[in-house]
Chain A
Amino acid sequence: MTLKRSLTCAALGALFAGLALPSQAQQLTVVNLGGANGNAQKAAFYEPYTKATGVKIVPVEYNAEQAKIKAMVEAKKVTWDVVEVESPDVVRGCDEGLFEKLDYSKIGSKADFLPAAVTDCGIGIFVWSTVMAYNADRLKTAPTSWADFFDTKKIPGKRGMRKGARYNLEFALIADGVKPADVYKVLATKEGADRAFKKLTELKPHIQWWEAGAQAPQFLVAGDVVLSTVYNGRIDAANREGRNLKIFWPGGIYDLDYWTIPKGAPNKEASMKFIAFSMQADSQAAYARNIPYGPTNTKALAKLDQKVLEHLPTSATNGKEALQFNIGFWADQGESLEKRFASWATQ
């Protein structure tokens, strides 16, 4: 290519780039945590939104690495518009100025949402739960309490647990007889943390750790473990493929995932519109039909039939003895407890 021609090309390219700029709001990059949840979001939020408004949604999957958002915001080169974030990161990120403050006048009435869903920088998209599950085809005697999870005499076999301190310390205390309502009060004290680690030590030789949410149902299906902690939506995804996995609901730990907008994101207005759309009762109900995670818009429940409702962590029966994940506690104590977990695992 001659110099003159390549110059012309560059000029034309620049011209087109210039022309494309105003229409950039026709496209939003929405970042989710992937898996069955990502697919459900695609069906319930992205595709209907594109159909309704013509705005194209580009889905991106990530693993909740806050470092990526921090790096983008600090370099002032934000390419993500809307990001799904786990609960402790909403608090931390908001404190540290990683996220834009949400404008609720554009999103909807705060009264329509669960109280836990409404925060300054993030709005809760759905409620999910970490629960105990087992393979009903393999296990003859079903567990009746969290104490059974830690009792390898009553139910022999390996246990699947998430690699790390989070959730496991709570479950250990519940198994040790602490009422779900008191778990965080006990865990906040030195003696309480000691008690939780002591209980975990009993089970240590029988634990098979999982890290990705998809691993737990795989372990159960393959028979590697007889009981496992698991995200409730993954059980449903496995059962839709013909498995017979069952959930033990009491003592489950429920939590929310949030929409956030990274600070300095290019299409703030358009992003708010997308969030508002996904928070409408209809979108929320559509999401719950795709994956059994509870809607945060309280009006969505009325749109769901009984068959969907009975699998949601927020339903009256399932949520009866559930524990709400304490964001503040883990934002404060998380790093030190995770380090203690690493130390405990070595011993």
Chain B
Amino acid sequence: MSATLTALDGSNPAALRQALARAEAWRKWRAFGLTLPLLIFLLLTLLVPIAALLMRAVENPEVANALPRTVRALDGWDRKDAPGAPAYAALVQDLAQLPDSSDAGALARRLNTEVPGARSLVMGAYRALPIDGTPEAMREKLLQTDARWGEPPFWRAIAKNGSRWTPDYLLASVDLRRDAQGHVERMPEDQRAFGGILVRTFNISLVVTLLCLLLGYPLAWWLASLPARPANVLMILVLVPFWTSVLVRVAAWMVLLQSEGLINRGLMAMHLIEQPLALLFNRTGVVIAMVHILLPFMILPLYSVMKSVPPTYVRAAVSLGSTPLAAFVRVYVPQTYPGIGAGALLVFILAIGYYVTPALLGGADDQMLSYYVARYTNVEVNWGMACALGALLLAATLVLYGVYRRFSKAELSLG
């Protein structure tokens, strides 16, 4: 303290600098200390899980762990016809060394995602153990348990998955695969699914974002121009649905949109339509409900930006001879670009991750990518595939954010 005091009288500039530096460092450390809990929280809840997700998307330990000898035996194989007897012997040895039947199960599951039918093949061989004798005899025995051991696809799957890391899940998530020689090629037509689903996910999200903008912009403008009291009342009307659970709102839409629901009955009573419209279990229902759920995410950033736009500019433009419409389009709208950008980005990014709404209100061709993430996680228990699809969604989000920054030349701002 006394050092600071002596430093303050200016007789010793070095001491002053030192005291300043010390105070500065102390402030920095304190600021860091205050953000530390958040940093740890982000690390544990965001970065670690994302890293784990990306790892799982390329991890491929099953074959390498369970069949090391077989993979080595298949090293020089031309991958055209079935391999020679030593590979069969190595396979039998590897299977016999597995510590637990669950390891055989994991191996069977992994190979089955590559070649349908491999599950029963591997488990059949595992149950047929012990098999001994010369390599030739082992080969005969395996072929007796299942003739499919004589076909190359299963052996190719083993040879291809011998390494601990694989691009296969990521390739499959964009409808590509590796052929027998390891070259990347397109999936056969009837197995191509995720490319179409990704396009569909973007399509739905784009339509929802545009509709939200069309509906939200005039409302936000009106709210921003009203005096505080009525504006607050109307704001509550925006916020109450915002605070209501998504599931409740989806269920409400199911009641409203069904063929004997309020909307169809109302339209029929007004003689606008003869037959009930198909509003549910198709794209229409999904889009209506998603727009309703995501609308506040558009209105709120728009409103907060519009609040800060001085009304005098438009008045000035009009007084200088502009028509009101031109003044609105050329003076007012450009000042709300940050709000439009932030709202559109927010709605779009939230929309591409949608899962519950399309699952409940859509048909078989309205499911978005998240539906398949959940499906691979819960039903197929193919976590590699689920993580690869998750990584695809993550990449799409990051690319979008990059594009946004490129065009707006600004950080994301909510007002």
Checking B100, B120, B258 against A97 with a beta-carbon cut-off of 8 angstroms, the contacting residue is B100
A332 to B112, Cβ gap below 8 A?
yes
A335 to B380, Cβ gap below 8 A?
yes
A333 to B377, Cβ gap below 8 A?
no
Q: Which of A211, A341, A342 has the most CB of B within 10 A?
A: A342
Checking B190, B364, B367, B379 against A66 with a beta-carbon cut-off of 8 angstroms, the contacting residue is B379
Interface string of A28-68 (1 = CB under 8 A from B): 00000000000000000000000000000000000111111
Q: Is residue B372 within 8 Å, beta carbon to beta carbon, of the partner chain?
A: yes
Interface string of A95-109 (1 = CB under 8 A from B): 111100000000000
* CB-based nearest B residue for A158: B278
Count class of interface residues, chain B: 35 or more
Q: Is residue A209 within 8 Å, beta carbon to beta carbon, of the partner chain?
A: yes
A97 to B377, Cβ gap below 8 A?
no
Interface string of A211-254 (1 = CB under 8 A from B): 10000000000111000000000000000000000000000000
A339 to B172, CA, bound (A): 11
Which residues of chain B are within 8 angstroms of A342 by Cβ–Cβ distance? 193, 197, 367, 372
B190 to A340, Cβ gap below 8 A?
yes
Q: Is residue A10 within 8 Å, beta carbon to beta carbon, of the partner chain?
A: no
Which residues of chain B are within 8 angstroms of A197 by Cβ–Cβ distance? 190
Q: With contacts A211-B359, A224-B258 known, is A96 near B379, CB below 8 A?
A: no
Q: Is residue B334 within 8 Å, beta carbon to beta carbon, of the partner chain?
A: no
A222 to B363, Cβ gap below 8 A?
no
Which residues of chain A are within 8 angstroms of B375 by Cβ–Cβ distance? 338
Q: Is residue A199 within 8 Å, beta carbon to beta carbon, of the partner chain?
A: no
* CB-based nearest A residue for B380: A335
Chain A 330-347 residues near chain B, CB threshold 8 A: 331-347
Which residues of chain A are within 8 angstroms of B383 by Cβ–Cβ distance? 67
- A interface secondary structure, majority: helix
Checking B102, B189, B259, B365 against A345 with a beta-carbon cut-off of 8 angstroms, the contacting residue is B365
B105 to A95, Cβ gap below 8 A?
yes
Checking A222, A343, A347 against B260 with a beta-carbon cut-off of 8 angstroms, the contacting residue is A222
Q: Is residue B382 within 8 Å, beta carbon to beta carbon, of the partner chain?
A: yes
Q: Which of B116, B259, B375 has the most CB of A within 10 A?
A: B116
Which residues of chain A are within 8 angstroms of B197 by Cβ–Cβ distance? 342, 346
A208 to chain B, nearest CB (A): 5
A292 to B31, CA, bound (A): 67
A211 to B382, CA, bound (A): 21
A39 to B200, CA, bound (A): 39
B364 to A345, Cβ gap below 8 A?
yes
Q: With contacts A95-B108, A97-B102 known, is A332 near B116, CB below 8 A?
A: yes
Chain B 89-131 residues near chain A, CB threshold 8 A: 100-102, 104-106, 108-109, 112-113, 116-120, 123
Q: Is residue B281 within 8 Å, beta carbon to beta carbon, of the partner chain?
A: yes
A332 to B101, Cβ gap below 8 A?
no
B357 to chain A, nearest CB (A): 13
Q: Is residue A163 within 8 Å, beta carbon to beta carbon, of the partner chain?
A: yes
B116 to A336, Cβ gap below 8 A?
yes
A97 to B105, Cβ gap below 8 A?
yes
A224 to B281, CA, bound (A): 11
Which residues of chain B are within 8 angstroms of A333 by Cβ–Cβ distance? 116-117
Q: Is residue A92 within 8 Å, beta carbon to beta carbon, of the partner chain?
A: yes
Q: With contacts A336-B191, A346-B193 known, is A224 near B259, CB below 8 A?
A: yes
Q: Is residue A13 within 8 Å, beta carbon to beta carbon, of the partner chain?
A: no
Q: Is residue B378 within 8 Å, beta carbon to beta carbon, of the partner chain?
A: yes
Which residues of chain B are within 8 angstroms of A328 by Cβ–Cβ distance? 120
A95 to B112, CA, bound (A): 13
Q: Which of A96, A163, A334 has the most CB of B within 10 A?
A: A96
B57 to chain A, nearest CB (A): 16
Closest 3 CB pairs of A and B: A97-B102, A96-B105, A95-B105
A-B contact pairs, 11 of them (CB 8 A): A95-B123, A96-B102, A222-B258, A223-B259, A224-B259, A332-B112, A335-B113, A340-B193, A341-B364, A342-B367, A343-B189
Q: A67-B381, A335-B113 are in contact. List 18 more A-B contacts (CB 8 A).
A: A65-B379, A92-B109, A94-B105, A95-B123, A163-B364, A208-B363, A209-B363, A209-B364, A222-B259, A224-B258, A332-B118, A332-B119, A332-B120, A335-B380, A337-B116, A338-B375, A340-B191, A346-B197
| Interface, chain B (partner A; CB < 8 A) | 100-102, 104-106, 108-109, 112-113, 116-120, 123, 189-193, 196-197, 200, 258-260, 281, 359, 363-365, 367, 372, 375, 377-383
